[in-house]
């Protein structure tokens, strides 16, 4: 099958996943009703007689922002994962390896436990602090790695990130143990949820995700070279330290912004890039945007399962992605080990 055909089918599948996420639930909303509702909201045209006002509210105020937010989050995490796997030359690498999730969780926990609120931000205080905590942990990991190793070797970066993650998680565990009245809220945030998302949140996240993915795509050639090894990249003229720092920072920015809005959701950044490389090959000019597309579609489906499988209970979407991601993680790891032994 030609590459253009694969891309067309993938885009169509992504749109279909979005429509499923918007239409399925306790109240089924068909494509025709969706089109009528969207037209009414955008142009002010009256709703057709067969479309109840409550259906319009469910779609426009609840399901559409939730599905769009899920898609943007999945896109951010998957594109970030594709970059991390390339830069660190590890098929199991992700921004979480460098402590984004643990740093964001600790900052969010501090806000939840203390009730701290910035006057100008109000409810967005948790978002900003979670974002700053995740990004700050990554920059701390990179800074410490640079002090230990001027060349920022991949092994040094990964080990430093893992050590920081373990330390931050230990602090978070202590805070949780001493604050049982907030236990449920903390655990739910750490497993991720798209409940209660709004168009305003979608607007903020899209201004970060779309430029971030496009900017990462521009570094496709450098990532292709880095995949073959750091010496080859240097010999080809890549300013390795600067490019590696920039790519890690951009990937962390994408992950941190997504985590700050919806909580910690794992494994999407692992699954989507591997699937995309199997289908489209290893060119990162295509891997990064297609990973964003596949990650977004996967996240919408995972959220659909989370809100319908035990309705009216709204499950944490991180639990659904973990059910798929954990076996996938094991398959990638042990498949790689078998390949190394055969070699």
CA dist list (Å): 152 to 84, 111, 156, 160, 224: 14, 33, 7, 11, 18
Cα distance between residue 55 and residue 42, in whole Å: 16
Total domains present in the chain: 1
Q: Which domain holds residue 116?
A: 3-342
Cα distance between residue 116 and residue 268, in whole Å: 31
Residues 75-88 as b/e (b if ≥16 CB within 10 A, e otherwise) read: bbbbbbbbbbbbbb
Q: What is the pLDDT along the chain (343 residues), one digit of tens a residue?
A: 788 899 999 999 999 999 999 999 888 999 999 999 999 999 888 888 888 889 999 999 999 999 999 999 999 999 999 998 888 887 777 777 778 888 888 888 888 788 778 777 676 787 788 888 888 888 888 888 888 777 667 778 878 888 888 898 888 888 877 777 777 777 777 778 898 888 988 998 999 899 999 999 999 999 988 887 777 778 888 888 888 888 988 888 888 888 888 888 888 988 899 899 989 988 999 999 999 999 999 999 999 999 998 878 888 898 888 888 778 777 766 665 555 555 5
Alpha helices in 88-182 (DSSP H): 100-114, 125-148, 154-177
The CATH number that applies at residue 270 is 1.10.3470.10
DSSP string of 258-301, one letter each residue: HHHHH----SHHHHHHHHHHHHH-S-HHHHHHHHHHHHHHHHHH
Predicted TM-score (pTM) of the model is 0.89
DSSP string of 172-201, one letter each residue: HHHHHHT-GGGHHHHHHHHH---TT--HHH
């Amino acid at each position: 099958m030609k590459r253009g055909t694969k891309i067309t089918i993938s885009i169509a599948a992504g749109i279909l996943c979005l429509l499923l996420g918007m239409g399925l639930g306790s109240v089924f909303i068909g494509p025709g009703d969706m089109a009528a509702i969207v037209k009414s909201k955008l142009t002010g045209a009256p709703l057709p007689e067969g479309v109840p006002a409550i259906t319009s509210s469910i779609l426009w105020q609840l399901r559409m922002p939730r599905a769009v937010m899920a898609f943007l989050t999945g896109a951010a995490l998957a594109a970030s994962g594709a970059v991390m796997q390339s830069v660190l030359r590890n098929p199991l690498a992700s921004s979480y390896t460098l402590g984004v999730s643990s740093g964001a969780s600790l900052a969010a926990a501090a806000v939840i436990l203390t009730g701290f609120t910035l006057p100008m931000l109000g409810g967005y205080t948790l978002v900003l602090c979670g974002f700053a905590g995740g990004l700050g942990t990554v920059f701390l990991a990179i800074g410490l790695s640079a002090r230990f190793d001027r060349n920022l070797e991949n092994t040094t970066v990964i080990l430093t990130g893992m050590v920081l993650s373990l330390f931050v998680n230990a602090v978070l565990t202590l805070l949780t143990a001493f604050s049982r009245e907030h236990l449920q809220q903390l655990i739910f945030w750490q497993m991720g949820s798209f409940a209660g998302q709004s168009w305003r949140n979608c607007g903020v996240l899209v201004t970060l995700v779309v430029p971030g993915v496009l900017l990462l795509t521009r570094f496709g050639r450098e990532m292709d070279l880095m995949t073959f090894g750091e010496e080859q990249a240097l010999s080809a003229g890549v300013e390795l330290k600067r490019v590696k720092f920039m790519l890690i920072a951009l990937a962390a920015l994408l992950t941190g912004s997504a985590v700050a809005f919806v909580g910690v959701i794992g494994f999407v950044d692992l699954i989507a890039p591997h699937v995309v490389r199997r289908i489209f090959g290893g060119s990162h000019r295509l891997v990064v945007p297609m990973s964003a597309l596949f990650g977004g579609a996967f996240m919408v489906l995972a959220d659909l399962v989370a809100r319908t499988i035990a309705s009216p209970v709204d499950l944490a979407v991180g639990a659904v992605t973990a059910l798929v991601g954990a076996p996938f993680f094991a398959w990638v790891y042990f498949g790689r080990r078998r390949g190394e032994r055969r070699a």
